[in-house]
């Protein structure tokens, strides 16, 4: 954990964050609905949940790719939507994003040198010789070489493209990186390489990550704390070991039971919890527990109002009527 900060203020904090999209007459898609969490300097916060639960939308709000419908986002104690021009430029330098699809996130008309060097030139004037040296060093950091500088994205594999995306994010020396499912589009053999590289870079550069994924085994490996999302809301958050040892929310329990185990004896001993039905539509959702239609423990109160987030033990927060 970084010691640069003299206060207990988290590096980044989201309060009551909402991101709604109007998709038709009297129809509102609530992608992110009253979400609150924080990320401490130097840690990795994992964010998990099924596809469509609002993870990526949350990440895009944090880097100001979306203007939230409601709520506040604070970076180093300051509201990021109240910055002046100079503060906003500094924020863009300090907070970067690695995108999910390495095939779509790189401009096909730009060389690797242009892609990686573009951010550097936005923030400072650099002589061409020094720029080349810095780009070459960055590419070496992510496992590429100087010969790749003059090539175009279509000449690379998916794993190599994602390394270019990581080099681009690192080019402006950020403090905080949103990793939006950075390995989901890659072969399994490449995934471990990219994850280990992200961990190494974090140790070398003192980086802070929000790591978004739907693979719980990967999230457990890389994360210090984990947030579980379901249909735009946070249902549980705790440190990684606690969440895996003692999941509380029925949805979290079901997700964890689906993780494959290599030991046949443990597989037979542990019962997989099947989640019934389909994910409900996020358009005009009812003002009650979002998981109620699929929950094996649903009660009448679950259909009447939203559960409030409660701290069951230190650092372990769950939003479920079972713990009222």
β-strands 233-239, 70-75: how paired? unpaired
| Listed residue (51, 49, 12, 54) closest to 31, CA to CA | 54
CA distances for 64 relative to 18, 59, 72, 74, angstroms: 13, 9, 12, 12
R_g over Cα of the chain: 21
One digit per residue, the tens of pLDDT, for the chain of length 324 reads 444 433 478 999 999 999 999 998 899 999 999 999 999 999 999 999 988 899 999 999 999 999 999 999 999 999 999 999 999 999 999 999 999 888 899 999 999 999 999 999 999 889 999 999 999 999 999 999 999 999 999 999 999 999 999 999 999 999 999 999 998 878 888 888 889 999 999 999 999 999 999 888 889 999 999 999 999 999 999 999 999 999 999 999 999 887 776 566 655 556 677 788 788 899 999 999 999 999 999 999 999 999 999 999 999 999 999 998
Q: Return left, alpha or beta for 242; rule: phi > 0 is left, psi -120 to 50 is alpha, else beta.
A: alpha
Q: In a 3-state reduction of DSSP, which class is residue 7? A: coil
Q: Which domains does the chain have, with CATH numbers?
A: 12-241 (3.40.50.300)
Q: Can you give the pTM of this predicted structure?
A: 0.91
């Amino acid at each position: 954990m970084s010691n640069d900060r003299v206060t207990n203020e988290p590096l980044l904090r989201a309060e009551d964050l909402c991101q709604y999209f109007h998709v038709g007459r009297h129809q509102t898609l609530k992608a992110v609905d009253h979400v609150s969490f924080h990320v401490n300097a130097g840690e990795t916060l994992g964010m998990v949940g099924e596809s469509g639960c609002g993870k990526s939308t949350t990440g895009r709000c944090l880097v100001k790719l979306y203007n939230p419908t409601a709520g506040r986002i604070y970076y180093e104690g300051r509201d990021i939507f109240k910055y002046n021009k100079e503060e906003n430029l500094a924020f863009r330098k300090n907070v970067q994003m690695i995108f999910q699809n390495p095939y779509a996130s790189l401009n096909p008309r730009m060389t690797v040198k242009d892609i990686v060097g573009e951010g550097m030139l936005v923030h400072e004037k650099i002589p061409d010789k020094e720029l080349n040296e810095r780009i070459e060093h960055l590419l070496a950091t992510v496992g590429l070489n100087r010969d790749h500088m003059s090539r175009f994205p279509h000449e690379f594999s998916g794993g190599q493209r994602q390394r270019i995306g990581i080099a681009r994010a690192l080019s402006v020396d950020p403090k905080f990186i949103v990793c939006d499912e950075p390995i989901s589009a890659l072969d399994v053999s490449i995934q471990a390489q990219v994850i280990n590289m992200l961990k190494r870079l974090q140790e070398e550069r003192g980086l802070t990550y929000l790591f978004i994924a739907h693979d719980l085994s990967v999230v457990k490996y890389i994360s210090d704390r984990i947030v579980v999302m379901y249909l735009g809301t946070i249902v549980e958050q705790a440190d990684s070991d606690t969440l895996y040892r003692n999941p509380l929310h029925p949805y979290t329990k079901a997700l964890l039971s689906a993780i494959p185990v290599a030991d046949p004896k443990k597989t037979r001993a542990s019962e997989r919890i099947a989640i019934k039905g389909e994910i409900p539509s996020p358009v005009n959702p009812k003002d009650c527990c979002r998981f109620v239609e699929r929950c094996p423990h649903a009660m009448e109160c679950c259909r009447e109002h939203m559960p409030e987030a409660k701290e069951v033990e230190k650092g372990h927060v769950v939003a479920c009527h079972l713990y009222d």
